[in-house]
Amino acid sequence: MASLLRGFVRAAQLHCTRTALRLEGESFTYEALAALAGAIAAQVKTNAPGEAPILGVYATHSVSAYAGALAAPGCARTLLALDPYDPPRRINAILAHSGVEALVVGAEAADRLDGLLEASGRPLLILTPQLDDLRGLAARHRRHRFVDARALAQCSAELEAPAMPGRPAFLTYVGGSERPRPLSLSHQGLVHYIDQVTRSLDLDPDDRVSQLFDLRLSQSLHDIFSTWQAGATLVALGRNERRQLGQRIRSHRLTRIAGWPALAAGLWRTGELGEGVFGDLRSSIFFGAPLDTDLAHAWQQAAPRSLITSMWGPPQAGPALATRPLNGRKDTTKKTSKTKTLPPGERESIEADRLSLFDAHMAATITHELRANAPGEPGELVVSGPQVPCGKSPDSTRAPLVELDAAPPSAARAALPSRWLRTGHNARILEGGQIELGERLDDQIYLGGELVDLSEIDLALQQACGHRHVAVVPWPRDTAWPSGLIALVVSGADQPLDVQAILAACRRQLPAHLVPDRVLPVRELARQSNGAPDREAIARHLENERS
Protein backbone atom coordinates (compact mmCIF):
# COMPACT_ATOMS: atom_id res chain seq x y z
CA MET A 1 0.00 0.00 0.00
CA ALA A 2 1.25 3.51 -0.85
CA SER A 3 2.02 5.90 2.00
CA LEU A 4 0.23 9.19 2.56
CA LEU A 5 3.72 10.74 2.90
CA ARG A 6 5.20 9.49 -0.34
CA GLY A 7 4.41 12.70 -2.24
CA PHE A 8 5.96 14.97 0.37
CA VAL A 9 9.08 12.82 0.73
CA ARG A 10 9.58 12.83 -3.04
CA ALA A 11 8.98 16.62 -3.21
CA ALA A 12 11.50 17.17 -0.39
CA GLN A 13 14.10 15.33 -2.47
CA LEU A 14 13.29 17.13 -5.73
CA HIS A 15 12.57 20.61 -4.37
CA CYS A 16 14.57 20.72 -1.14
CA THR A 17 15.32 24.47 -1.28
CA ARG A 18 11.88 25.58 -2.46
CA THR A 19 9.39 27.06 0.00
CA ALA A 20 7.04 24.41 1.33
CA LEU A 21 5.25 26.51 3.95
CA ARG A 22 4.60 30.21 4.30
CA LEU A 23 3.41 31.46 7.66
CA GLU A 24 2.82 35.00 8.80
CA GLY A 25 6.31 36.49 8.85
CA GLU A 26 8.33 33.34 8.09
CA SER A 27 8.84 30.59 5.53
CA PHE A 28 10.11 27.01 5.66
CA THR A 29 11.75 25.05 2.87
CA TYR A 30 10.92 21.44 2.06
CA GLU A 31 14.31 20.45 3.47
CA ALA A 32 13.73 22.27 6.80
CA LEU A 33 10.19 20.98 7.23
CA ALA A 34 11.21 17.40 6.43
CA ALA A 35 14.07 17.63 8.96
CA LEU A 36 11.76 18.88 11.73
CA ALA A 37 9.07 16.27 10.99
CA GLY A 38 11.75 13.55 10.87
CA ALA A 39 13.12 14.64 14.26
CA ILE A 40 9.64 14.57 15.84
CA ALA A 41 8.93 11.12 14.38
CA ALA A 42 12.26 9.77 15.64
CA GLN A 43 11.69 11.12 19.15
CA VAL A 44 8.21 9.60 19.28
CA LYS A 45 9.42 6.19 18.14
CA THR A 46 12.23 6.25 20.72
CA ASN A 47 10.46 7.76 23.73
CA ALA A 48 6.81 6.73 23.31
CA PRO A 49 6.80 3.16 21.98
CA GLY A 50 3.61 2.35 23.90
CA GLU A 51 0.51 0.51 22.77
CA ALA A 52 -1.44 3.61 21.62
CA PRO A 53 -0.38 4.18 17.98
CA ILE A 54 -1.50 7.83 18.07
CA LEU A 55 0.38 11.14 17.86
CA GLY A 56 -1.60 14.10 19.16
CA VAL A 57 -1.05 17.54 17.65
CA TYR A 58 -2.25 20.36 19.89
CA ALA A 59 -1.73 23.16 17.39
CA THR A 60 -3.17 24.78 14.29
CA HIS A 61 -1.74 27.03 11.56
CA SER A 62 1.79 26.92 12.99
CA VAL A 63 4.98 25.10 12.06
CA SER A 64 4.30 22.75 14.98
CA ALA A 65 0.94 21.80 13.46
CA TYR A 66 2.34 21.08 10.00
CA ALA A 67 5.45 19.26 11.20
CA GLY A 68 3.28 17.19 13.53
CA ALA A 69 0.89 16.35 10.68
CA LEU A 70 3.87 15.00 8.71
CA ALA A 71 5.50 13.27 11.67
CA ALA A 72 2.41 11.20 12.53
CA PRO A 73 2.41 9.11 9.34
CA GLY A 74 6.24 9.30 9.40
CA CYS A 75 6.27 7.21 12.60
CA ALA A 76 3.25 5.12 11.52
CA ARG A 77 0.96 6.81 14.05
CA THR A 78 -2.60 8.04 13.68
CA LEU A 79 -2.75 11.85 13.64
CA LEU A 80 -5.04 13.11 16.43
CA ALA A 81 -5.85 16.77 15.79
CA LEU A 82 -6.62 18.88 18.89
CA ASP A 83 -7.84 22.47 18.64
CA PRO A 84 -5.92 24.87 20.95
CA TYR A 85 -9.04 27.04 21.18
CA ASP A 86 -11.30 24.26 22.49
CA PRO A 87 -12.43 24.27 26.14
CA PRO A 88 -9.83 22.53 28.38
CA ARG A 89 -12.54 20.16 29.61
CA ARG A 90 -13.10 18.93 26.07
CA ILE A 91 -9.38 18.47 25.40
CA ASN A 92 -8.98 16.49 28.62
CA ALA A 93 -11.91 14.23 27.70
CA ILE A 94 -10.41 13.56 24.27
CA LEU A 95 -6.95 12.77 25.68
CA ALA A 96 -8.46 10.35 28.18
CA HIS A 97 -10.60 8.58 25.59
CA SER A 98 -7.96 8.33 22.87
CA GLY A 99 -5.16 6.98 25.06
CA VAL A 100 -2.61 9.22 23.33
CA GLU A 101 0.90 9.08 24.83
CA ALA A 102 2.78 11.66 22.72
CA LEU A 103 1.70 15.23 22.02
CA VAL A 104 3.16 17.90 19.72
CA VAL A 105 2.30 21.30 21.24
CA GLY A 106 2.38 24.57 19.29
CA ALA A 107 3.24 27.98 20.69
CA GLU A 108 -0.44 28.93 20.34
CA ALA A 109 -1.32 26.29 22.98
CA ALA A 110 1.57 26.97 25.40
CA ASP A 111 -0.54 28.90 27.93
CA ARG A 112 -2.85 25.89 28.34
CA LEU A 113 -0.15 23.28 28.74
CA ASP A 114 0.11 23.49 32.56
CA GLY A 115 -3.58 22.72 33.02
CA LEU A 116 -3.52 19.92 30.45
CA LEU A 117 -0.56 18.19 32.11
CA GLU A 118 -2.10 18.55 35.55
CA ALA A 119 -5.35 16.92 34.39
CA SER A 120 -3.76 14.13 32.35
CA GLY A 121 -4.40 10.68 33.73
CA ARG A 122 -1.28 9.18 32.15
CA PRO A 123 2.34 10.24 31.55
CA LEU A 124 2.82 12.08 28.27
CA LEU A 125 5.72 12.78 25.95
CA ILE A 126 5.48 16.52 25.13
CA LEU A 127 7.28 17.85 22.04
CA THR A 128 7.45 21.62 21.50
CA PRO A 129 9.03 22.54 18.12
CA GLN A 130 8.60 26.27 18.82
CA LEU A 131 9.42 26.41 22.54
CA ASP A 132 12.86 26.22 24.19
CA ASP A 133 13.83 25.68 27.81
CA LEU A 134 11.01 23.69 29.37
CA ARG A 135 12.78 23.26 32.70
CA GLY A 136 10.01 25.06 34.57
CA LEU A 137 7.34 22.78 33.11
CA ALA A 138 9.48 19.71 33.73
CA ALA A 139 9.96 20.70 37.38
CA ARG A 140 6.23 21.19 37.92
CA HIS A 141 5.19 18.00 36.06
CA ARG A 142 7.83 15.37 36.83
CA ARG A 143 5.88 12.36 35.56
CA HIS A 144 5.85 13.75 32.01
CA ARG A 145 8.78 13.85 29.57
CA PHE A 146 9.69 16.86 27.46
CA VAL A 147 11.50 17.43 24.16
CA ASP A 148 11.95 21.12 23.33
CA ALA A 149 12.93 22.91 20.13
CA ARG A 150 16.65 22.76 20.94
CA ALA A 151 16.59 18.98 21.39
CA LEU A 152 14.64 18.53 18.15
CA ALA A 153 17.14 20.70 16.26
CA GLN A 154 19.95 18.43 17.48
CA CYS A 155 18.14 15.29 16.34
CA SER A 156 19.04 14.27 12.81
CA ALA A 157 16.65 11.69 11.38
CA GLU A 158 15.32 11.10 7.88
CA LEU A 159 11.55 11.34 7.45
CA GLU A 160 10.27 7.97 6.30
CA ALA A 161 7.07 7.14 4.43
CA PRO A 162 5.82 3.84 5.92
CA ALA A 163 2.61 2.18 4.81
CA MET A 164 -0.15 1.93 7.41
CA PRO A 165 -2.39 -0.96 6.26
CA GLY A 166 -5.58 -1.27 8.27
CA ARG A 167 -4.72 1.65 10.55
CA PRO A 168 -6.50 5.01 10.72
CA ALA A 169 -4.42 7.91 9.41
CA PHE A 170 -6.52 10.66 10.98
CA LEU A 171 -8.57 10.97 14.15
CA THR A 172 -10.69 13.88 15.28
CA TYR A 173 -13.55 14.32 17.72
CA VAL A 174 -16.97 15.85 17.11
CA GLY A 175 -19.49 17.15 19.65
CA GLY A 176 -19.14 19.16 22.85
CA SER A 177 -17.33 18.55 26.12
CA GLU A 178 -20.07 16.33 27.53
CA ARG A 179 -19.78 13.63 24.89
CA PRO A 180 -17.04 14.17 22.29
CA ARG A 181 -17.21 11.33 19.76
CA PRO A 182 -14.27 9.99 17.75
CA LEU A 183 -14.29 10.06 13.96
CA SER A 184 -11.41 8.36 12.14
CA LEU A 185 -10.34 8.11 8.51
CA SER A 186 -8.42 5.18 7.09
CA HIS A 187 -4.98 5.52 5.58
CA GLN A 188 -6.18 3.72 2.44
CA GLY A 189 -9.15 6.08 2.05
CA LEU A 190 -7.04 9.22 2.40
CA VAL A 191 -4.45 7.95 -0.08
CA HIS A 192 -7.27 7.28 -2.56
CA TYR A 193 -8.63 10.79 -1.99
CA ILE A 194 -5.27 12.56 -2.42
CA ASP A 195 -4.52 10.58 -5.58
CA GLN A 196 -7.94 11.50 -6.98
CA VAL A 197 -7.70 15.23 -6.35
CA THR A 198 -4.07 15.66 -7.38
CA ARG A 199 -4.88 14.15 -10.79
CA SER A 200 -7.77 16.56 -11.27
CA LEU A 201 -6.12 19.69 -9.84
CA ASP A 202 -2.89 19.49 -11.89
CA LEU A 203 -0.85 21.52 -9.39
CA ASP A 204 2.76 22.44 -10.11
CA PRO A 205 5.68 23.68 -7.95
CA ASP A 206 4.93 27.33 -8.78
CA ASP A 207 1.46 27.20 -7.23
CA ARG A 208 0.70 29.10 -4.02
CA VAL A 209 -2.11 27.29 -2.20
CA SER A 210 -4.26 28.50 0.70
CA GLN A 211 -4.54 26.58 3.98
CA LEU A 212 -7.67 27.86 5.72
CA PHE A 213 -9.11 24.81 7.47
CA ASP A 214 -8.15 24.08 11.07
CA LEU A 215 -6.14 20.89 11.48
CA ARG A 216 -9.03 19.18 13.32
CA LEU A 217 -10.96 19.13 10.00
CA SER A 218 -10.06 16.52 7.39
CA GLN A 219 -10.20 19.19 4.67
CA SER A 220 -6.89 20.45 6.08
CA LEU A 221 -5.35 17.19 4.85
CA HIS A 222 -6.59 18.05 1.35
CA ASP A 223 -4.68 21.34 1.56
CA ILE A 224 -1.52 19.85 3.07
CA PHE A 225 -0.95 16.66 1.12
CA SER A 226 -2.23 17.67 -2.31
CA THR A 227 -0.04 20.81 -2.19
CA TRP A 228 3.11 19.09 -1.00
CA GLN A 229 2.69 16.13 -3.35
CA ALA A 230 3.12 18.69 -6.16
CA GLY A 231 6.09 20.51 -4.58
CA ALA A 232 4.02 23.71 -4.31
CA THR A 233 3.89 26.33 -1.52
CA LEU A 234 1.28 26.07 1.23
CA VAL A 235 0.18 29.48 2.58
CA ALA A 236 -1.25 29.21 6.12
CA LEU A 237 -4.16 31.56 6.78
CA GLY A 238 -5.28 31.18 10.40
CA ARG A 239 -8.27 32.63 12.21
CA ASN A 240 -6.92 36.17 12.38
CA GLU A 241 -5.89 36.24 8.73
CA ARG A 242 -9.27 34.87 7.62
CA ARG A 243 -10.82 38.15 8.78
CA GLN A 244 -8.88 39.84 5.96
CA LEU A 245 -9.27 37.03 3.44
CA GLY A 246 -9.66 39.18 0.34
CA GLN A 247 -6.54 41.15 1.15
CA ARG A 248 -4.58 37.97 1.91
CA ILE A 249 -5.58 36.33 -1.38
CA ARG A 250 -4.16 39.35 -3.19
CA SER A 251 -1.04 39.95 -1.07
CA HIS A 252 0.05 36.31 -1.26
CA ARG A 253 -0.95 36.14 -4.94
CA LEU A 254 -2.66 32.82 -4.31
CA THR A 255 -3.17 30.61 -7.33
CA ARG A 256 -5.32 28.00 -5.53
CA ILE A 257 -7.83 28.35 -2.73
CA ALA A 258 -9.90 25.81 -0.82
CA GLY A 259 -12.50 26.96 1.69
CA TRP A 260 -16.20 26.88 2.42
CA PRO A 261 -19.09 28.86 0.86
CA ALA A 262 -19.66 31.21 3.82
CA LEU A 263 -16.18 32.70 3.22
CA ALA A 264 -17.13 33.60 -0.35
CA ALA A 265 -20.54 34.83 0.79
CA GLY A 266 -18.90 37.09 3.39
CA LEU A 267 -16.69 38.70 0.74
CA TRP A 268 -19.74 39.10 -1.51
CA ARG A 269 -21.80 40.82 1.20
CA THR A 270 -18.99 43.28 1.95
CA GLY A 271 -18.50 44.14 -1.72
CA GLU A 272 -15.03 42.60 -2.01
CA LEU A 273 -15.73 40.47 -5.09
CA GLY A 274 -14.94 43.20 -7.58
CA GLU A 275 -14.18 42.34 -11.18
CA GLY A 276 -10.78 40.68 -11.57
CA VAL A 277 -9.61 41.33 -7.97
CA PHE A 278 -8.36 37.73 -7.63
CA GLY A 279 -6.70 37.55 -11.03
CA ASP A 280 -4.01 35.06 -9.97
CA LEU A 281 -6.46 32.34 -8.87
CA ARG A 282 -6.61 29.32 -11.17
CA SER A 283 -8.62 26.99 -8.93
CA SER A 284 -11.28 27.63 -6.26
CA ILE A 285 -12.71 24.71 -4.28
CA PHE A 286 -15.59 25.01 -1.82
CA PHE A 287 -16.37 22.16 0.58
CA GLY A 288 -19.75 21.44 2.12
CA ALA A 289 -23.04 22.91 0.91
CA PRO A 290 -22.60 23.82 -2.77
CA LEU A 291 -22.56 27.43 -3.92
CA ASP A 292 -25.65 28.67 -5.70
CA THR A 293 -25.37 30.20 -9.15
CA ASP A 294 -25.40 33.85 -8.04
CA LEU A 295 -22.50 33.39 -5.63
CA ALA A 296 -20.57 31.25 -8.12
CA HIS A 297 -21.04 33.96 -10.77
CA ALA A 298 -19.85 36.68 -8.37
CA TRP A 299 -16.77 34.61 -7.50
CA GLN A 300 -16.10 33.98 -11.20
CA GLN A 301 -16.12 37.72 -11.88
CA ALA A 302 -13.58 38.24 -9.10
CA ALA A 303 -11.44 35.29 -10.26
CA PRO A 304 -11.95 35.14 -14.04
CA ARG A 305 -9.15 32.58 -14.62
CA SER A 306 -10.30 30.22 -11.91
CA LEU A 307 -12.05 26.90 -12.19
CA ILE A 308 -14.74 26.76 -9.48
CA THR A 309 -15.64 23.41 -7.93
CA SER A 310 -17.96 22.27 -5.18
CA MET A 311 -16.74 19.29 -3.15
CA TRP A 312 -19.12 17.28 -0.98
CA GLY A 313 -19.06 14.15 1.10
CA PRO A 314 -20.13 12.68 4.45
CA PRO A 315 -17.50 13.36 7.15
CA GLN A 316 -16.89 9.61 7.68
CA ALA A 317 -15.56 9.39 4.10
CA GLY A 318 -12.88 12.07 4.31
CA PRO A 319 -12.58 15.61 2.94
CA ALA A 320 -14.98 14.90 0.04
CA LEU A 321 -16.49 12.09 -1.98
CA ALA A 322 -18.04 13.87 -4.94
CA THR A 323 -17.47 16.94 -7.05
CA ARG A 324 -19.42 19.41 -9.14
CA PRO A 325 -17.91 22.04 -11.51
CA LEU A 326 -19.65 25.40 -11.24
CA ASN A 327 -18.17 27.52 -14.03
CA GLY A 328 -20.79 28.84 -16.43
CA ARG A 329 -23.78 27.10 -14.83
CA LYS A 330 -27.22 28.66 -14.69
CA ASP A 331 -29.71 27.83 -11.97
CA THR A 332 -33.35 27.94 -13.01
CA THR A 333 -34.58 25.49 -10.43
CA LYS A 334 -36.35 25.76 -7.13
CA LYS A 335 -35.23 24.74 -3.69
CA THR A 336 -36.42 21.46 -2.27
CA SER A 337 -38.01 21.41 1.18
CA LYS A 338 -36.05 19.70 3.94
CA THR A 339 -39.16 17.84 5.02
CA LYS A 340 -40.26 16.59 1.62
CA THR A 341 -38.94 14.35 -1.11
CA LEU A 342 -39.59 15.05 -4.76
CA PRO A 343 -42.29 12.99 -6.46
CA PRO A 344 -40.72 10.56 -8.95
CA GLY A 345 -42.25 12.35 -11.93
CA GLU A 346 -40.94 15.77 -11.01
CA ARG A 347 -37.71 16.31 -12.94
CA GLU A 348 -36.40 19.58 -11.50
CA SER A 349 -32.95 19.55 -10.02
CA ILE A 350 -32.67 19.62 -6.22
CA GLU A 351 -30.94 23.00 -5.82
CA ALA A 352 -29.12 22.15 -9.08
CA ASP A 353 -26.55 20.20 -7.04
CA ARG A 354 -25.55 17.50 -9.50
CA LEU A 355 -22.52 15.73 -8.16
CA SER A 356 -20.20 13.13 -9.67
CA LEU A 357 -18.73 10.53 -7.34
CA PHE A 358 -15.00 9.88 -7.20
CA ASP A 359 -13.68 6.84 -9.04
CA ALA A 360 -14.49 3.38 -7.61
CA HIS A 361 -17.43 4.63 -5.51
CA MET A 362 -21.11 3.76 -5.81
CA ALA A 363 -24.31 5.50 -4.69
CA ALA A 364 -27.94 4.54 -4.23
CA THR A 365 -31.02 5.91 -2.51
CA ILE A 366 -33.02 3.99 0.06
CA THR A 367 -36.48 4.00 1.57
CA HIS A 368 -37.33 4.35 5.25
CA GLU A 369 -37.37 0.52 5.32
CA LEU A 370 -33.72 0.49 4.11
CA ARG A 371 -34.63 -0.97 0.74
CA ALA A 372 -32.86 0.21 -2.40
CA ASN A 373 -34.83 2.48 -4.71
CA ALA A 374 -35.01 2.19 -8.47
CA PRO A 375 -32.86 4.70 -10.41
CA GLY A 376 -34.41 8.16 -10.34
CA GLU A 377 -36.47 7.57 -7.20
CA PRO A 378 -35.72 9.99 -4.35
CA GLY A 379 -34.68 8.84 -0.90
CA GLU A 380 -31.82 8.94 1.54
CA LEU A 381 -28.44 8.79 -0.21
CA VAL A 382 -26.13 5.90 0.67
CA VAL A 383 -22.58 5.51 -0.65
CA SER A 384 -19.87 2.87 -0.75
CA GLY A 385 -16.28 2.60 -1.96
CA PRO A 386 -12.63 2.81 -0.87
CA GLN A 387 -13.11 5.99 1.20
CA VAL A 388 -16.16 4.66 3.05
CA PRO A 389 -15.62 2.84 6.37
CA CYS A 390 -16.53 -0.83 6.12
CA GLY A 391 -16.95 -1.55 9.80
CA LYS A 392 -16.59 -0.32 13.36
CA SER A 393 -13.42 -0.13 15.37
CA PRO A 394 -12.68 1.15 18.88
CA ASP A 395 -11.15 4.36 17.59
CA SER A 396 -13.76 5.26 14.99
CA THR A 397 -17.16 6.83 15.23
CA ARG A 398 -20.17 4.57 14.90
CA ALA A 399 -20.66 5.19 11.20
CA PRO A 400 -24.29 4.79 10.11
CA LEU A 401 -23.67 1.68 7.99
CA VAL A 402 -26.49 -0.39 6.54
CA GLU A 403 -26.87 -3.62 4.62
CA LEU A 404 -29.47 -3.21 1.88
CA ASP A 405 -32.30 -5.72 1.62
CA ALA A 406 -32.01 -5.56 -2.15
CA ALA A 407 -29.24 -4.49 -4.48
CA PRO A 408 -29.57 -1.16 -6.28
CA PRO A 409 -30.81 -2.00 -9.79
CA SER A 410 -27.85 -0.18 -11.34
CA ALA A 411 -25.25 -2.17 -9.37
CA ALA A 412 -23.47 -5.20 -10.73
CA ARG A 413 -24.01 -7.94 -8.19
CA ALA A 414 -20.42 -9.19 -8.50
CA ALA A 415 -19.16 -5.80 -7.34
CA LEU A 416 -21.92 -5.12 -4.82
CA PRO A 417 -20.51 -3.84 -1.48
CA SER A 418 -21.73 -5.52 1.66
CA ARG A 419 -22.28 -2.25 3.53
CA TRP A 420 -23.33 1.25 2.61
CA LEU A 421 -22.89 4.52 4.49
CA ARG A 422 -26.02 6.54 5.18
CA THR A 423 -25.39 10.23 4.47
CA GLY A 424 -28.50 11.84 5.96
CA HIS A 425 -29.15 13.66 2.65
CA ASN A 426 -32.20 13.47 0.45
CA ALA A 427 -31.10 12.74 -3.12
CA ARG A 428 -31.89 11.15 -6.46
CA ILE A 429 -29.55 9.14 -8.72
CA LEU A 430 -29.76 10.30 -12.33
CA GLU A 431 -29.03 8.38 -15.49
CA GLY A 432 -25.27 8.19 -15.87
CA GLY A 433 -24.79 7.98 -12.10
CA GLN A 434 -24.82 11.66 -11.19
CA ILE A 435 -26.28 12.56 -7.81
CA GLU A 436 -28.96 15.21 -7.50
CA LEU A 437 -28.43 16.28 -3.92
CA GLY A 438 -31.22 17.60 -1.73
CA GLU A 439 -31.29 18.98 1.77
CA ARG A 440 -30.51 17.09 4.92
CA LEU A 441 -33.06 14.90 6.62
CA ASP A 442 -31.85 15.67 10.14
CA ASP A 443 -30.91 18.60 12.37
CA GLN A 444 -27.37 19.04 11.05
CA ILE A 445 -26.14 22.04 9.07
CA TYR A 446 -22.93 23.07 7.33
CA LEU A 447 -21.03 25.65 9.36
CA GLY A 448 -17.46 26.67 8.68
CA GLY A 449 -16.98 23.83 6.21
CA GLU A 450 -18.20 21.03 8.51
CA LEU A 451 -21.43 19.36 9.56
CA VAL A 452 -22.59 20.36 13.03
CA ASP A 453 -25.53 19.04 15.03
CA LEU A 454 -27.73 21.86 16.29
CA SER A 455 -29.32 19.63 18.93
CA GLU A 456 -25.93 19.32 20.68
CA ILE A 457 -25.66 23.09 20.87
CA ASP A 458 -29.23 23.18 22.22
CA LEU A 459 -28.14 20.79 24.98
CA ALA A 460 -25.23 23.02 26.05
CA LEU A 461 -27.56 26.03 25.95
CA GLN A 462 -30.14 24.23 28.11
CA GLN A 463 -27.46 23.48 30.71
CA ALA A 464 -26.30 27.10 30.62
CA CYS A 465 -29.85 28.45 31.09
CA GLY A 466 -31.17 25.81 33.48
CA HIS A 467 -34.24 24.95 31.39
CA ARG A 468 -35.14 23.39 28.03
CA HIS A 469 -36.93 26.35 26.45
CA VAL A 470 -34.05 27.28 24.14
CA ALA A 471 -33.11 26.88 20.49
CA VAL A 472 -30.23 27.84 18.27
CA VAL A 473 -30.73 28.84 14.63
CA PRO A 474 -28.20 29.40 11.84
CA TRP A 475 -27.87 32.92 10.51
CA PRO A 476 -28.29 34.45 7.93
CA ARG A 477 -31.46 32.45 7.34
CA ASP A 478 -31.71 32.86 3.56
CA THR A 479 -28.70 30.71 2.69
CA ALA A 480 -27.47 27.12 2.84
CA TRP A 481 -24.13 28.36 4.17
CA PRO A 482 -24.69 30.43 7.31
CA SER A 483 -21.82 32.32 8.90
CA GLY A 484 -22.95 32.06 12.52
CA LEU A 485 -25.52 31.04 15.13
CA ILE A 486 -28.12 32.90 17.17
CA ALA A 487 -29.46 31.47 20.43
CA LEU A 488 -33.06 32.13 21.43
CA VAL A 489 -33.99 31.73 25.10
CA VAL A 490 -37.49 32.00 26.55
CA SER A 491 -37.44 34.68 29.22
CA GLY A 492 -40.14 36.70 30.96
CA ALA A 493 -40.05 40.41 31.70
CA ASP A 494 -39.32 39.64 35.34
CA GLN A 495 -36.42 37.31 34.44
CA PRO A 496 -33.82 39.26 32.43
CA LEU A 497 -31.19 37.15 30.72
CA ASP A 498 -27.60 37.19 31.91
CA VAL A 499 -26.22 36.95 28.38
CA GLN A 500 -22.55 37.01 29.40
CA ALA A 501 -23.04 34.19 31.90
CA ILE A 502 -24.85 32.08 29.29
CA LEU A 503 -22.10 32.60 26.72
CA ALA A 504 -19.40 31.88 29.29
CA ALA A 505 -21.11 28.60 30.18
CA CYS A 506 -21.34 27.68 26.47
CA ARG A 507 -17.63 28.41 26.01
CA ARG A 508 -16.81 25.94 28.77
CA GLN A 509 -18.80 23.25 26.96
CA LEU A 510 -18.51 23.86 23.23
CA PRO A 511 -15.73 24.28 20.69
CA ALA A 512 -15.29 27.96 19.88
CA HIS A 513 -16.94 27.72 16.45
CA LEU A 514 -20.15 26.30 17.99
CA VAL A 515 -20.65 29.03 20.60
CA PRO A 516 -23.59 31.24 19.53
CA ASP A 517 -22.68 34.71 18.33
CA ARG A 518 -25.66 36.25 20.15
CA VAL A 519 -28.27 35.32 22.76
CA LEU A 520 -31.72 36.88 22.38
CA PRO A 521 -34.73 36.69 24.71
CA VAL A 522 -38.11 35.57 23.32
CA ARG A 523 -41.56 35.07 24.83
CA GLU A 524 -42.05 31.60 23.31
CA LEU A 525 -40.53 29.17 20.81
CA ALA A 526 -42.33 27.42 17.95
CA ARG A 527 -42.12 23.64 18.20
CA GLN A 528 -42.81 20.71 15.92
CA SER A 529 -45.36 18.00 16.75
CA ASN A 530 -42.57 15.86 18.27
CA GLY A 531 -41.56 18.67 20.65
CA ALA A 532 -38.35 19.59 18.84
CA PRO A 533 -37.72 23.27 18.03
CA ASP A 534 -39.23 24.37 14.72
CA ARG A 535 -36.11 26.17 13.55
CA GLU A 536 -37.60 27.33 10.26
CA ALA A 537 -40.53 29.02 12.05
CA ILE A 538 -38.21 30.44 14.72
CA ALA A 539 -35.88 31.90 12.07
CA ARG A 540 -38.79 33.38 10.11
CA HIS A 541 -40.12 35.03 13.27
CA LEU A 542 -36.68 36.39 14.07
CA GLU A 543 -36.32 37.76 10.56
CA ASN A 544 -39.72 39.47 10.79
CA GLU A 545 -38.77 40.99 14.13
CA ARG A 546 -35.53 42.35 12.68
CA SER A 547 -37.29 43.86 9.67
Specify the CATH number for the domain of residue 158. Answer: 3.40.50.12780
Do 396 and 452 fall within a single domain? no
Tell me the per-residue pLDDT of 83-117, one tens digit each, with 9 for 90 and over: 999 999 999 999 999 999 999 999 999 999 999 99
Local structure of residue 158 (DSSP, 8 states): P
Asked whether residue 194 is assigned to any structural domain, the reply reads no
Do 172 and 34 fall within a single domain? yes
pLDDT at 270: 93
Count of domains forming the chain: 3
Among 183, 214, 230, where does a domain finish? Answer: 183
Do 429 and 450 fall within a single domain? no
pLDDT at 475: 86
Do 71 and 169 fall within a single domain? yes
Asked whether residue 262 is assigned to any structural domain, the reply reads no
Do 431 and 493 fall within a single domain? no
Asked whether residue 205 is assigned to any structural domain, the reply reads no
The pairing of strands 420-429 and 444-447 is: unpaired
CATH number at residue 493: 3.30.300.30
Do 413 and 482 fall within a single domain? no
The pairing of strands 181-186 and 168-174 is: antiparallel
Asked whether residue 426 is assigned to any structural domain, the reply reads yes
Do 513 and 453 fall within a single domain? yes
Asked whether residue 135 is assigned to any structural domain, the reply reads yes
Among 154, 183, 212, where does a domain finish? Answer: 183
pLDDT at 408: 59
Do 377 and 490 fall within a single domain? no
pLDDT at 370: 84
pLDDT at 348: 43
In the predicted model, residues of the chain with pLDDT beneath 70 are: 1, 51, 328-353, 390-399, 404-418, 478-479, 493, 546-547
The reported pTM is: 0.90
Asked whether residue 419 is assigned to any structural domain, the reply reads yes
Asked whether residue 480 is assigned to any structural domain, the reply reads yes
How far apart, in whole angstroms, are the C-alpha atoms of residue 163 and residue 394? 21
Helix (H) or strand (E) holding 235: strand 233-236
Do 68 and 164 fall within a single domain? yes
Do 378 and 520 fall within a single domain? no
- Listed in sequence order, the residues at least 6 apart from 412 whose beta carbon sits closer than 8 Å to its beta carbon are none
CATH number at residue 425: 2.30.38
pLDDT at 412: 47
Asked whether residue 354 is assigned to any structural domain, the reply reads no
Q: By three-state DSSP, how is residue 146 classified?
A: strand
Cα 109 → chain centroid: 20
Do 89 and 170 fall within a single domain? yes
Nearest to 55 by CA among 2, 124, 122, 4: 124
pLDDT at 431: 86
Contact (Cβ atoms closer than 8 angstroms) between residue 72 and residue 50: no
Do 431 and 487 fall within a single domain? no
Domain extent, residue 56, equals 30-183
pLDDT at 391: 57
